[in-house]
Structure 1
């Protein structure tokens, strides 16, 4: 006999969170035996119980080993339904749904850092931002959470809408809309429509929206939200700022209206000196400031939180190795983020700059065009000392003067002996699957 979600929830309340992976299972967890194309979580049920799982949720009767095993029709559906049920019990938690083509994780971390100065804050761990990660995030949220940042990723239409039904955000922020996951969305219009599913959900709740007015597509999606908190460079936005320094790291002076209504009230200038590389982080920082203002975080605490944040995990991460300085921005890449990174790097005032660019994935039939566009950008900016990695760039480079390798391993071997790579500033930018970090770690 299978249990209802309400009955499973009673067991969940006696556990200390959930996991779908025995490799990171903690004693007292509720284990969900998910299935994939190359694995069957049911087969790890005994291992989970032996490691101290309080319960194991399975969808195969053959793996109901004892009274700690809960049989359901489908473990993924059960996980999502349990998370939805749990979220409904958290009536006083402010939940920000956050999506976008670029900068989601950096923006999430900045916002969480700012909010945590005054509120018990919980944010998506790592990249747990899909149909599995969002439910896991909600179910692992501490009971005393006052504010949560739930990152939502998608590569097909309808996924953001589904995640909204699970997470039930009452606030929303879209970082930007660019050429990401074109293989699943078809074109930039498809990306815009998919990301807009978050605003559609919030509109039905009359919730709070934060608008990046520097992105024309985001601004268009949020045009009809009368109480939106907008941010950008124009002086009439609720939060506005100007860049005062771009290199070596981003600094800006920002102004925020003290009145909730966007174009009224006193504005006070405040300076923040970040540890973030690249002008493309400008709106990510502004998003965190806007959330901080909305959550009544004092300006000085907003500044401290942002200035103390240091990027990690291959996201605009600065690494000094020997005489060289690396900007490791190789967690992900798409045409929009690649162009922004290249333009920002071109503005760096350094006598020995090198670009190492890896293929961009999930572009479908746009791959050839978009890689060719990047080559054209390199020509226009007259950038030298370029190393291209991957088959797509190999096909697109034509007669462009550069070094080319099919893999990061091959590029790393060449770079070890390249005579000009001393006292250099080196940007590593490419999709995660290109493993450009190998160039540093090998």
Structure 2
């Protein structure tokens, strides 16, 4: 398997002329470094000899203040908006360092002529689909895959700077906190294949509704290669609106009634089997992921791969080898109990999907849920909806933790009891006592919440008591 390469000794070096050309900058006092630049970094603490430090500036910080310490670390090159005359380092002056970072990422992407780039976005499933697709493509050639949450206007160009001449594929996840962000990042990556997984309720507050989310996500098609392929979800509420943005493009759809779809789906506690139907044929898929939502993610990954002309047998092999990201439905066994770590992040759609996975498990099934953020004025309503829907699932108990826990609890209309706590410190002894009470029965716990809730901390605290 060809893994994603990030080692600095294989990165393409930069000459002083290339840096100036890419950023539209000028070297202060005409002083140019004669050595090649190995890395471009935004963290001054990591900057060493042969690195260039790019000084970002925001509303609450200005990295230009770190410039004086650079030379003590051996770093002699900086990309700045305003030079400091007293410093004995080479300074490339640009109008805006944030935009300069984007220019550098785009410059590096355009330098990789043999590279095929996939850009994907969606309200949920981006991380898992990205990893599935990376697993498929890496069977064929070196593949760069977005790490962690490097999917915004800073993270995307930082990932592009890791491209090497060895890479043949790049899978770029594009996120959005505001209108225009995906238009910007998709312009940097110039995708050969671009697609939307779904239009959900993540970041609902920033966009004022799902219509706004759809407009923001659909920006991903603006910079698609004219001969490229647009991937669209066939069964989304906003499918018709997405199609309106892709009328002039070659398209491939996934989901029921789409070009790529699944039949004979068998949901197991920790895996899934299904028949994969594509324009290239049919294949039996063994997917090491639980949940019907991961079938959708696999269908999307398949559509992206088919658009790159990947053979169906390679797709099946790649899906079978895919590995879940930490915090994404990781199954951990402690004594007779199962702990499912799904704490990476959450939105209403993914919380409901997680509950369905929990319902497939054995023993007493407990959902431990934290608050969901970035819902804006709809936060109370969305948590009420979750209380109504989750309380009707085939699980045994819900423990809600956070500011909106009481909202979830009050909205319950089903038979599943919900207990609310404002803090993890309050919930911890309750969960520990619950385990003691039900000894020696098997229990299955699923922990999930938005990133800021750090539900993994509560899970670890409970597990330590066993």
Do both share a fold (TM > 0.5)? yes
1:112-127 matched pairs, under 5 angstroms: 112-127=134-149
1:437 aligns to what SS in structure 2? helix
Alignment correspondent of 2:251: 228
Moved more, 327-336 or 337-346: 337-346
1:331 aligns to what SS in structure 2? coil
Q: Distance in 1 between matches of 2:86 and 2:354?
A: 51
Alignment correspondent of 1:69: 91
The match for 1:136 among 152, 158, 163 is: 158
- Distance 1:12-1:305 versus aligned 2 partners, 3 A rule: farther
Alpha carbons 1:357, 1:387 under 8 Å: kept: yes
The match for 2:431 among 401, 404, 415 is: 415
Do structure 1's residue 358 and structure 2's residue 370 form an aligned pair? yes
Moved more, 171-180 or 374-383: 374-383
Alpha carbons 1:412, 1:438 under 8 Å: kept: no
The structural deviation recorded for 1:373 is 0.5
Q: Distance in 2 between matches of 1:201 and 1:208?
A: 11
Q: Distance in 2 between matches of 1:318 and 1:82?
A: 40
Q: Give the TM-score of the pair, scaled to structure 2.
A: 0.84
Do structure 1's residue 245 and structure 2's residue 258 form an aligned pair? no
The structural deviation recorded for 1:357 is 1.0
1:255-266 matched pairs, under 5 angstroms: 255-258=277-280
Count of aligned pairs between the two proteins: 428
Q: Give the TM-score of the pair, scaled to structure 1.
A: 0.88
Alignment correspondent of 2:3: none
Alignment correspondent of 2:13: none
1:109 aligns to what SS in structure 2? helix
**Superimposed CA distance per residue, residues 53-90 of structure 1 (whole angstroms, 9 cap, x where no aligned partner):** 46322234237722333233322122122223333333
**Superimposed CA distance per residue, residues 210-245 of structure 1 (whole angstroms, 9 cap, x where no aligned partner):** 2221324245413625631222233xx432222532
Do structure 1's residue 184 and structure 2's residue 206 form an aligned pair? yes
Alignment correspondent of 1:441: 460
Alignment correspondent of 2:387: 375
Q: Distance in 1 between matches of 2:402 and 2:256?
A: 37
Alignment correspondent of 1:157: 179
The structural deviation recorded for 1:108 is 1.0
Alpha carbons 2:344, 2:451 under 8 Å: kept: yes
1:427 aligns to what SS in structure 2? strand
The match for 2:355 among 323, 342, 345 is: 342
Do structure 1's residue 57 and structure 2's residue 79 form an aligned pair? yes
Q: Distance in 1 between matches of 2:39 and 2:203?
A: 32
User: Runs of 5+ in structure 2 lacking a partner?
Assistant: 1-18, 462-466
| Superposed CA RMSD | 2.7
Alpha carbons 1:243, 1:282 under 8 Å: kept: no
1:61 aligns to what SS in structure 2? coil
Q: Distance in 2 between matches of 1:21 and 1:243?
A: 50
- Distance 1:182-1:28 versus aligned 2 partners, 3 A rule: same
Moved more, 56-65 or 163-172: 56-65
Alpha carbons 1:199, 1:221 under 8 Å: kept: no
Q: Distance in 2 between matches of 1:304 and 1:382?
A: 33
- Distance 1:63-1:95 versus aligned 2 partners, 3 A rule: farther
Q: Distance in 2 between matches of 1:355 and 1:151?
A: 29
The match for 2:284 among 250, 267, 271 is: 271
The structural deviation recorded for 1:3 is 5.1
The match for 2:111 among 89, 92, 101 is: 89
Do structure 1's residue 110 and structure 2's residue 132 form an aligned pair? yes
1:397 aligns to what SS in structure 2? helix
Alignment correspondent of 2:300: 287
Alpha carbons 2:358, 2:395 under 8 Å: kept: no
